Amino acid sequence: MINFEEVVECLENTEKRKEFILRLKHAGANSTPFLNLQSAMTGLKMNKAPRGIDQKTTLQYILKFTDPGECFQSFRLVCKSWKNAVETIKFNRKLGCVRLRYGSFFGHGKLQPHVFDDIFKLIDEIIDNFHDEMPKVPPYFEKYLQCFKKLEVPMQLFSSENGRDMISLVLKNMQKLNHIKFESDEQKLPETIDPFMIQMLENSHETLQYTSISRFCIPDISFPKLETLRIEIGKDICLPEFKTYFPQVLKNSERLETVELRWDRDLPACYNIFEYVVNNYEKHCIRGCVGRNSKFLNFVPVKIVTRVFSLEFPQNLKYVSGVQYLHVTVGIRQPPMLFGWDKYKEFFDQCLNLKEIELHWNGGCRNKSNISETSEANQIIWQERIENIKARGIRFVNDGKIFRNKNLEMKVAKESGVTWKFVFC
């Protein structure tokens, strides 16, 4: 009789295993060898899934790295344990672009894949194609929305004709989020959307870490985990709203780190808010994105200035002397005398407290480049400028040391004696 070691060797050896399977097939399904083997495999529970393959925690950890749409349309159909794992997972990512079998929601049998850059555009189209034989919004979306921790709401769409159905869908299925952005597309929003914004924030006030608003519809309750508040000012939020509600939010957000003010230089209401901020929170003004708005430093005393594309600043700017860190972008093919660089010495004469400068060389579509890619004549000009700036005690630092460096912002805020900061963009 064959012993234990010989049985194991037979199963582990490829050739012997093939021969064993061949003989088993030849014996047939009703043969004694097959029935004995069937009994043995049943006793060893070989008809069960391998240990761990249907373990919910393990499955969800793996599925978090997959596409959410594929999870719901493929992996969810494997078995009951996988279905439960998919429907109770929480993706720590934004609910946005989605690849779905388009036709399955319109009842015409076409199942070709289609990519929607915003899932709410798809839902809007489904509602438009609604008829009595199907629910207005398929149950699929209720479970799908529940799986996300981050939400960016297209507010123009939510204030449209189908907005009421989408608002009901989101309020019911998206709660305890950590990221909510009410995207206005820089347009004014109707007051009818206010109750939705308030209710969304109430539903997530214990978990919310980031929110972006264009209307001051924040309930007067605690936000114990809120770290970043982004506010679009100048349209729906002007000085009266800001003075009334901002101190309230500040009081209710014990872990707040960053208040980002999104503004437009063509909106006079923004400058009224700047004046209020400087009068009441001057120490908290840490970083400002200048772009091509040369007069920004006449209104706000920031320590870090980024996204400077031109040195054509007016003389005697009120707050230029307080700048400590500067991020400047230079086009690699830019003539060296353009954008105020012909008078760079006059500009740096005003920067009495400047410590570091990050000179970012923009190579067009490649974005990142370096000085060696300019002409030899231009290299000589730029090297002379760099040496002149260094001679003023200003250090040149690598890309990323100033631009979008949160550690630097927190360091400067701490030096200013504050725990949270304003960022102007």
Single-letter amino acid code for the residue at 393: G
Side-by-side strand order, sheet with 228-232: 91-95, 148-154, 179-183, 210-213, 228-232, 258-262, 421-424, 285-291, 304-308, 325-331, 356-362, 395-397
Q: Is the pTM of this model over 0.85?
A: no
Domain ends where: 40, 68, 89?
Answer: 89
The answer to whether residue 328 is domain-embedded is yes
Stretch among 74-83, 135-144, 340-349 having the lowest mean pLDDT: 135-144
The answer to whether residue 305 is domain-embedded is yes
Helix (H, G, I), strand (E, B) or coil at 101: strand
Q: Report the distance separating Cα 78 and Cα 385, nearest Å.
A: 65
The pLDDT, as a whole number, for residue 368 is 52
Q: How confident is the model at residue 366 (pLDDT cuts 50, 70, 90)?
A: very low
Bridge partner list, 259 = 229, 422
Q: Domain containing 359 — which CATH number?
A: 3.40.50
The range of the structural domain enclosing residue 65 comes to 56-89
Give the CA diameter of the chain.
Answer: 102
Beta strand pairing call for 228-232 and 258-262:
parallel
Query: Average of pLDDT values for 126-130?
Result: 77
Distance of CA 147 to the CA centre of its chain: 16
**CA dist list (Å): 303 to 183, 257, 285:** 29, 16, 7
The answer to whether residue 387 is domain-embedded is yes
pLDDT of 16 above 60: yes
Query: Average of pLDDT values for 72-81?
Result: 82
The answer to whether residue 376 is domain-embedded is yes
Nearest Cα neighbor of 308 from 325, 333, 336, 289 is: 289
The pLDDT, as a whole number, for residue 411 is 96
Q: Specify the number of domains making up the chain.
A: 2
Single-letter amino acid code for the residue at 328: V
Question: What is the torsional sign of CA 285, 418, 152, 234?
Answer: negative
**DSSP code of 181?**
E
Cβ–Cβ < 8 Å for 113, 102 = yes
Domain ends where: 89, 105, 136?
Answer: 89
Give the tokens for residue 277. 């901020």
Cβ–Cβ < 8 Å for 385, 343 = no
> How many degrees, rounded to 5, is the angle at CA 265 between CA 263 and CA 360?
80
Nearest Cα neighbor of 322 from 338, 300, 346, 307 is: 300
The answer to whether residue 227 is domain-embedded is no
10 Å Cβ neighbour count for 73?
A: 19
226, exposed or middle or buried, with CB in 10 Å at 0-12, 13-18, 19+? buried
Question: In which residue are the tokens 């002149």 written?
Answer: 388
| Phi, psi angles (nearest 5°) of residue 241 | -65, -45
Beta strand pairing call for 325-331 and 179-183:
unpaired
Query: Average of pLDDT values for 128-138?
Result: 67
Helix (H, G, I), strand (E, B) or coil at 51: coil
Q: Report the distance separating Cα 290 and Cα 292, nearest Å.
A: 6
The pLDDT, as a whole number, for residue 387 is 93
The answer for residues whose C-beta is within 8 angstroms of residue 179's C-beta and 6 or more apart is 94, 149, 150, 151, 208, 209, 210, 211
The pLDDT, as a whole number, for residue 212 is 95
The answer to whether residue 160 is domain-embedded is no
Q: How confident is the model at residue 275 (pLDDT cuts 50, 70, 90)?
A: very high
Give the tokens for residue 230. 């982004």
The answer to whether residue 248 is domain-embedded is no
Bridge partner list, 183 = 154
The tens digit of pLDDT for each residue in 294-339 reads 788 999 999 999 999 888 887 788 999 999 999 998 877 777 788 8
Q: Give the per-residue SS3 of 109-121.
A: CCCCEEEECCHHH
b/e for 175-211, b at 16 or more Cβ within 10 A? eebbbbbbbbeeeebeeebeebbebbbebbbebbbbb
Question: What separation, in Å, do the N-terminal and C-terminal C-alpha atoms of the chain show?
Answer: 83
Q: Report the distance separating Cα 247 and Cα 280, nearest Å.
A: 10
Helix (H, G, I), strand (E, B) or coil at 35: helix
The answer to whether residue 395 is domain-embedded is yes
- Long-range pairs for 124-130 at CB < 8 Å and ≥24 separation? 124/157, 124/160, 124/162, 124/166, 127/162, 127/165, 127/166, 128/162
Helix (H, G, I), strand (E, B) or coil at 103: helix
Distance of CA 159 to the CA centre of its chain: 23
pLDDT of 153 above 80: yes
Q: How confident is the model at residue 197 (pLDDT cuts 50, 70, 90)?
A: very high
